[in-house]
Structure 1
């Protein structure tokens, strides 16, 4: 039986291993996604104890929310689940911009409720800040929705430290979502300490760095998608990163588990991190991520991993 965790100061209590769904219906982000495999991943997750599902309007311009809503309705387990989604993007012929105006955020929450086939959303994030809206005003709009019972918790994503402080001046923010991984530890400088101090839960994206921290690549691996453009996958940096992953492989081998599970378990030892949401596109990946709950790291192993990936 998995020990459940509370997300920060919210009343949301979940399995510490959740799921990210940008590859479920996120056709605008990833080519050739299989919707049936995505549906099966959500179904499998719900039936095997994952109760925290993270999505966004941005993933397929609402398609990810629709697929999740469909499967949640089919399983009849809505009340057992914590569903997070994100609003703010606006799509036009010129591309994507963001709008944090209170009226816009409220309308987008209504749209998400319809797509998710639910009458409340457990955690709503402002996905990106805009240029114009005062940050505390945008959060205030979500607080009104919370008071109405339409949402249960308020999150921010991709805001700078300064913007987070401005947005949280009334103490209404519960969760912050940002990039953090063993290969990009910049959040340790200000964001994670602020989250721990303010009792915000820090939920990371890009935890396995596009698969680099799973141990499935080697020096001959070729990348002709977005990975090819990321600094982690370039020349000498790529070789160094592979070498570090090999050191994790030794720990994984001793524990009889996978590299990815050791990495994910390490994140759960960080102060402000209560839950992880590794992205999935099929049921096999869900099953693999769930094994993280069986990994217990010693303080020595935690320090070793810390040292291997020192900033």
Structure 2
């Protein structure tokens, strides 16, 4: 079974590779998903030692939480599973708005508890900031829910450094989730030093840069989805990015590992990154993600990867 790490200053212990569950029931995010396959993905994670499941109200909406709730109830091991969920999306007159008001967050937690079929959520995030609610007031509402035993730890997601500082005015924020990968390293400037100094765990999303860091593309690859409009996947920039990935492949080949596993292993060497949440649409992808834990990078390799992507 994989070794477990503590998340930041919390008492939550998780496997360093968790499961990002946006493709479990995320029918609004991915085409042609099967609920049964989604449940099989969650079972594969739990059966192979992964104990950290990351979901959100908006994945579905609602369906991801429901499917996770069904599988965990079926397994009968709720006390062994660390569940993270998120809320802030609200539908008003057919439009999606963000709401961080204390009343909405408290209602959201109660609704998530029902969908997950549990009486507590291990980690609950404010998914996106809104434009109106003071960030420390929103976190204060989650602190009340923590005091009441409905949640065990407090997270914020997609917060800027200034929003994070405001949210953490009372030192209540346990986890920040934000975009970070070897191509997008902006978090290293202010956010990661702040999270490290304040005992806040940083959970990166898009760690493989929409697949670019997975090592499966060549200069002849074409894209028909959002990647077609992403500058990272266009022209000379795309070619230069692939050249960097090929340098990582040399390290991966020497270890008989995949590029993605080396990249994910590199993140786990960063201060305040305790856990990663790669997604999976099939059970076999869950098992593949776990191979990351077999990769041990030397200090020289860590520095080499750093240099490759500093250029």
TM-score normalised by length of structure 1: 0.98
Q: 2:136 maps to which residue?
A: 136
1:203-255 Cα offsets, whole Å, 9 max, x none, are 00000111111111111212111222222111111111111111111111110
Q: 2:272 maps to which residue?
A: 272
Contact 2:2 2:50 in 1 (8 A): no
Q: 1:307 maps to which residue?
A: 307
Q: 1:201 maps to which residue?
A: 201
Q: 1:82 maps to which residue?
A: 82
Counterpart-to-counterpart distance in 2, 1:280 and 1:229: 24
Quote the offset at 1:34 in angstroms: 2.4
Q: 1:148 maps to which residue?
A: 148
TM-score normalised by length of structure 2: 0.98
1:95-131 Cα offsets, whole Å, 9 max, x none, are 3111011011000000101111111000000001111
Quote the offset at 1:93 in angstroms: 4.3
Structure 1 residue 175 corresponds to structure 2 residue 175: yes
Contact 2:66 2:115 in 1 (8 A): yes
SS of the counterpart of 1:165? helix
Counterpart-to-counterpart distance in 2, 1:248 and 1:175: 29
Q: 1:224 maps to which residue?
A: 224
SS of the counterpart of 2:53? strand
What are the ranges of 5 or more consecutive residues in structure 1 without an aligned counterpart? none
Contact 2:21 2:54 in 1 (8 A): yes
Counterpart-to-counterpart distance in 2, 1:214 and 1:166: 35
Counterpart-to-counterpart distance in 2, 1:288 and 1:13: 22
Q: 1:254 maps to which residue?
A: 254
Counterpart-to-counterpart distance in 1, 2:248 and 2:81: 33
Superposition pairs of residues 155-166 of structure 1, within 5 angstroms: 155-166=155-166
Counterpart-to-counterpart distance in 2, 1:163 and 1:188: 16
SS of the counterpart of 1:309? helix
Structure 1 residue 245 corresponds to structure 2 residue 245: yes
Counterpart-to-counterpart distance in 1, 2:113 and 2:230: 35
Q: 2:263 maps to which residue?
A: 263
4+ residue runs of structure 1 moved beyond 4 angstroms? none
Counterpart-to-counterpart distance in 2, 1:112 and 1:230: 33
1:108-164 Cα offsets, whole Å, 9 max, x none, are 000101111111000000001111111111100000000010000000001111111
Q: 2:11 maps to which residue?
A: 11
Q: 1:50 maps to which residue?
A: 50
Counterpart-to-counterpart distance in 1, 2:183 and 2:262: 14
Counterpart-to-counterpart distance in 2, 1:223 and 1:93: 34
Matched positions, count: 311
SS of the counterpart of 2:310? coil
The alignment yields a C-alpha RMSD, in angstroms, of 1.0
Quote the offset at 1:94 in angstroms: 3.8
SS of the counterpart of 1:22? coil
SS of the counterpart of 1:172? coil
1:151-203 Cα offsets, whole Å, 9 max, x none, are 00000001111111111100000000000000100000001000000010000
